[in-house]
């Protein structure tokens, strides 16, 4: 089955909005838009994230259990976006695979936007809710770039789009999911050593965790929860020092945010 839908469905008018989005070359405003919402905005949102994956303003984050997975998908999508911006159609047969992966990333971004939409609408009262609509703009940009990349190299086995779409989904979604499982299990085991081991075991666990690219907030918060209920001063000090070493932040401050 061919995916050659452009002529019949995607280009109904010579200068239609959609035709401009899926044309082979991007305009300067489109390039700026793509750079902002495919690269800059997602990274800034993750860094200053107040409520979605890390939390802060309202205590626990909305999608905290999916933090590692979301970061993994974003890392893949940003890398592919940069790769396409640098080399474009010169990537040859890889273009279709990259396009499929970017399209999968667009779907992922849209799902994130829908998941936090109620909170984004409520947050409009405080203006900050407008940030919740960034995933939709990111999804649009990724889809536009992905579609261009996908159509730039159409010679595939049996001219079928299924294989590159499946491989692209595996690259952008399945691999980050596997990495997420690995990091989550590794982090859980090390956090358990801190929570239930002696001071030496806790120190070794902290050293082990520092090798990870980052530590999921929900695992760090388990240290905070244990600290607030611990009665042994020595154990409380171990938990506090471990949290400080891993985050550079004060555990008691985090406890106040969570218990507010």
Look at residue 22 and tell me whether its pLDDT is greater than 80: no
Is residue 36 located within the same domain as residue 156? yes
Question: Is 249 in contact with 243 (CB distance < 8 Å)?
Answer: yes
- The pLDDT assigned to 58 comes to 54
Diameter of the chain by CA atoms? 74
- The pLDDT assigned to 144 comes to 92
Question: Is 202 in contact with 193 (CB distance < 8 Å)?
Answer: yes
Is residue 69 located within the same domain as residue 113? yes
79, 135, 66: which is closest to 107 by C-alpha? 135
Question: What's the CA gap between 216 and 67, in Å, rounded?
Answer: 7
Look at residue 132 and tell me whether its pLDDT is greater than 90: no
30, 17, 247, 10: which is closest to 151 by C-alpha? 10
Look at residue 136 and tell me whether its pLDDT is greater than 90: yes
Q: Which two tokens stand for residue 200?
A: 């030496």
Look at residue 5 and tell me whether its pLDDT is greater than 70: no
Is residue 145 located within the same domain as residue 121? yes
Distances (CA, A) of 236 to 32, 208, 210, 227, 232: 50, 20, 21, 6, 6
Number of other residues whose CB lies within 10 A of the CB of residue 27: 11
Question: Residue 37: pLDDT band by 50, 70, 90 thresholds?
Answer: very high
Is residue 114 located within the same domain as residue 155? yes
Is residue 170 located within the same domain as residue 234? no
Distances (CA, A) of 50 to 47, 113, 257: 9, 15, 12
- The pLDDT assigned to 155 comes to 53
Q: Number of folded domains in the chain?
A: 2
- The pLDDT assigned to 221 comes to 87
Is residue 154 located within the same domain as residue 48? yes
Q: Which two tokens stand for residue 126?
A: 């405080």
Question: What's the CA gap between 199 and 195, in Å, rounded?
Answer: 10
Looking at 177, 194, 219, the residue that finishes a domain is 177
Label residue 22 exposed, middle or buried (CB < 10 Å: 0-12, 13-18, 19+): middle
Is residue 65 located within the same domain as residue 158? yes
Question: Is 4 in contact with 154 (CB distance < 8 Å)?
Answer: yes
Is residue 45 located within the same domain as residue 29? yes
Average of per-residue pLDDT across 91-117 = 91
Looking at 132, 152, 177, the residue that finishes a domain is 177
Looking at 177, 195, 219, the residue that finishes a domain is 177
Asked whether residue 23 is domain-assigned, the answer is yes
Question: What's the CA gap between 196 and 42, in Å, rounded?
Answer: 37
Is residue 33 located within the same domain as residue 129? yes
Is residue 108 located within the same domain as residue 193? no
The angle formed by the CA atoms of residues 145, 148 and 152, to the nearest 5 degrees, is: 140
Is residue 144 located within the same domain as residue 206? no
- The pLDDT assigned to 21 comes to 65
- The pLDDT assigned to 153 comes to 65
Is residue 16 located within the same domain as residue 142? yes
Label residue 154 exposed, middle or buried (CB < 10 Å: 0-12, 13-18, 19+): middle
Look at residue 8 and tell me whether its pLDDT is greater than 50: no
User: The domain containing residue 23 runs over which residues?
Assistant: 6-177
pTM exceeding the 0.85 threshold for the entire prediction: no
Average pLDDT across the chain, whole number: 83
The pair phi, psi for residue 3, each rounded to 5°, is -105, 20
Asked whether residue 1 is domain-assigned, the answer is no
Number of other residues whose CB lies within 10 A of the CB of residue 100: 25
Most confident of 119-133, 159-173, 177-191: 177-191
């Amino acid at each position: 089955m061919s995916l050659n839908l452009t002529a019949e469905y995607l280009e109904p008018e010579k200068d239609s909005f959609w035709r401009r989005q899926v044309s082979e070359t991007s305009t300067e405003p489109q390039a700026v838009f793509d750079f902002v919402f495919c690269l800059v905005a997602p990274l800034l949102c993750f860094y200053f994230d107040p409520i979605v994956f890390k939390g802060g303003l309202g205590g626990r984050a909305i999608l905290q259990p999916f933090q590692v997975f979301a970061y993994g998908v974003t890392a893949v999508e940003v890398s592919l976006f940069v790769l396409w911006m640098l080399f474009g159609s010169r990537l040859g047969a890889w273009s279709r695979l990259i396009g499929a992966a970017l399209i999968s990333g667009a779907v992922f971004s849209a799902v994130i936007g829908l998941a936090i939409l109620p909170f984004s609408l409520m947050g409009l009262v405080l203006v900050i809710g407008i940030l919740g609509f960034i995933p939709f703009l990111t999804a649009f940009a990724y889809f536009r770039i992905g579609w261009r990349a996908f159509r730039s190299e159409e010679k595939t086995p049996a001219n079928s789009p299924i294989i590159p779409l499946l491989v692209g989904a595996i690259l952008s979604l399945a691999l980050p999911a596997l990495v997420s499982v690995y990091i989550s299990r590794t982090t859980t085991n090390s956090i358990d050593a801190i929570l239930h081991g002696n001071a030496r075991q806790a120190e070794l666990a902290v050293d082990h965790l520092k090798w990870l690219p980052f530590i999921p907030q929900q695992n760090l918060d388990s240290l905070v929860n244990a600290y607030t209920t611990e009665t042994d001063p020595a154990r409380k000090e171990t938990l506090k020092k471990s949290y400080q070493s891993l985050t550079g932040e004060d555990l008691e401050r985090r406890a106040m945010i969570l218990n507010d």
